[in-house]
Amino acid sequence: MNHGFVKVAAAIPSVKVADPQYNVQQIESLVIQAEGKGVEIICLPELSLTAYSCGDLFGQQLLLDEAEMALINLMNTTRSLNIISIVGLPVPYRGALLNCAAVVQRGKILGLVPKTFLPNYREFYEKRWFQSGADVPEGTVLICGQQVTVSTNMLFSTPSCTFGVEICEDLWAPVPPSSKLALQGADIIFNLSADNDLVGKYTYLQNLLAQQSARCICGYVYSSCGFGESTQDLVFSGKGLIYENGILLAETKRHQLTEQMLETEIDVDRLRGQRRLNTTFAACATQLNNLTISQFNNFKGQSNSQIVKSSNCQIIDTERVPARPFSLTRAIDAHPFVPTGARLDERCQEIFDIQTEGLAKRIKHTGAETVVVGISGGLDSTLALLVCVSAFDRLGLNRRGIVGITMPGFGTTDRTYTNAVNLMKLLGITIREISIKEACIQHFNDIDHDIEKHDTTYENSQARERTQILMDAANQMKGFVVGTGDLSELALGWATYNGDHMSMYGVNASVPKTLVRHLVNWVAEHTKDESTKQTLLDIVDTPISPELIPADEQGNITQKTEDLVGPYELHDFFLYYLLRWGFRPAKIYLLARQAFGQKYDDATIRKWLKTFCRRFFAQQFKRSCLPDGPKVGSCSLSPRGDWRMPSDASSSAWLKECDELG
């Protein structure tokens, strides 16, 4: 089972200009290598059978005949192979010469896609030799002994995906053919290109490919010619790039003097899921369909070829071949919520700004004189406090209006208590300390609960007592409570209902735990006060715990959250792929093994994946009544926004699939 992944390749052969027999041998070698690696579809550069830079030799019948013979050789070589090959060659057609992509499988040419937009400026003069596919009627041509469809509006259907083809300059058009092909069902676009090198052009190309693949919500495979092309006036460095919905999956090295092949897997399942959720994409597809129907009606009485060119594209079925063994080779980010390098700094700044602005608006709207935050010395409350400080500073308010309340309980340790108090002092906010021990003991007596019985009642009573203090203190001081709970806790239901689950505004509600740590660390690294920095860094290094169970004899935390519910990095990974992409447990497990294989064994991943699925369903009732809070990233569990799930939905199908994982 390939879980919706399609293995593709962009290949760049070494060529000799105007020597199709040499070129096809290089191409065949690459195709055979790709077949051995399980590649389903391989894309070669534009005019790869002849080389792109033949110039006026394209007018020579001998070169055209040699190109056709080379294509016959490729068909014969691949007759017993399952791989689909896309190669470029010049094709005479109805008195014109077309720059075509030939789609070949098992000795058959499935279709010929001519180039639509021909550059005719600066160094490129393609209109000197070729005619646009848009300027000739669709039809068939006899080539290599087969009658083959010639069309710019053609899709190819395989058991695992539907793909379309465009050629080089087509991508650079204001409305590329790939836009229409994607709206008509193409999951992947293959581009056969001949893109010369100029200073700064490669960066522009990368941006263009990223934008087009994102706009079309598609996979995009780009293969541009390299070594062996004429360097009389231009240099072609060999560019292979593979994108998926705006993300670069793989790229070749440029200016190599040998052949290259780039292969990876495109997640078609993910793309299709994203398209289903994207109403704008569906609306554009509907508009396109309505347009073609209208055009069809306007063509009444005209030739069939004119009607065909304006109607929906043709679907060409490829040959159904036996399923081939699948292994995932593409890199999977173990921390999808946390970017790396310079992007992490930018992301943290952006998220912190969103949190700050959200809270500032709430303060301004309510006219609150204070905000109240429960400060535990842990990550979540620290981030919430830092956001409060940022909001007050931006509003020009005195930080004394931020009331931090530390509420020591039965499980509070010296380390977290000291960090909580020190941080509040360093930030210059109002500090209140209210112990919950006596109130909880009284409560246990009232409900006849044994204080030595450290069960759910024992833990939740403390959480609810703290929330009651915060709420009443906020009323007392004409303010509101700022919530501290994060996205990961909401996903797992790791919060006490009507306890720490409740507030007037939750600034961390869509920030996952793995990112909370980085945000606090980011603030620490950017603060000018060394004492504040060291306190924040110690909080970052403190084990995550609700501290509701007494510490050990040495005063160390005994109740570590990740020992009870599992590693947050795993749960955030599961959450991302379940919530953002709608993946089933089996696929999430496949991705997790690829991402965490060196850190967790399969049994551990399976255990915590089942825990996640069980808790995610069982704890929905807590998410159905969440306080307001800003969405900062692509995932949110707000019942008013991204996630509207019945509290009594059955988890049986998800848990069953977890049990069947091997």
Residues classed as catalytic: 46, 115, 168
The tokens for 65 are 């005949």
**C-beta of residue 304 within 8 angstroms of C-beta of residue 46:** no
Alpha helices in 81-222 (DSSP H): 177-183, 201-215
What whole-number distance in Å separates Cα of residue 439 and Cα of residue 435? 8
Three-state secondary-structure class, residue 237: coil
> 108-114 and 96-105: which strand pairing?
antiparallel
> What distances in angstroms separate CA 447 from CA 224, 410, 451, 482, one per listed residue?
75, 18, 11, 30
The tokens for 218 are 């598609």
Listed residue (295, 95, 79) closest to 180, CA to CA: 295
How many Å is the Cα radius of gyration of the chain? 31
Listed residue (143, 178, 218) closest to 313, CA to CA: 178
> 188-193 and 162-167: which strand pairing?
parallel
DSSP string for 631-658: --SS----TTTT----TT---HHHHHHH
Which stretches of 72-128 are assigned E, i.e. beta strand?
84-93, 96-105, 108-114, 120-121, 124-125
> What distances in angstroms separate CA 180 from CA 2, 133, 153, 312, 440, one per listed residue?
27, 15, 9, 10, 65
> What distances in angstroms separate CA 1 from CA 327, 328, 376, 536, one per listed residue?
9, 11, 47, 46
> 314-317 and 41-43: which strand pairing?
unpaired
On the 0-12 / 13-18 / 19+ scale of CB atoms within 10 A, 135 is: exposed
What whole-number distance in Å separates Cα of residue 269 and Cα of residue 204? 29
Three-state secondary-structure class, residue 418: helix
Rounded to the nearest 5°, which phi and psi values hold at 659? -65, -25
Write 495-501 long-range contacts (CB < 8 A, 24+). 495/463, 495/622, 496/459, 496/460, 496/463, 496/464, 496/467, 497/460, 497/621, 497/622, 498/464, 498/467, 499/460, 499/463, 499/464, 499/466, 499/467, 500/374, 500/463, 500/466, 500/467, 500/546, 501/622, 501/626
Listed residue (191, 195, 194, 186) closest to 153, CA to CA: 186
**C-beta of residue 240 within 8 angstroms of C-beta of residue 262:** yes
Residues 6+ apart with CB under 8 A from 292: 310, 311, 312
109 forms bridges with which residues in the sheet? Answer: 104
The tokens for 13 are 């052969």
The 10 Å Cβ neighbour count of residue 169 is 22
What whole-number distance in Å separates Cα of residue 391 and Cα of residue 219? 41
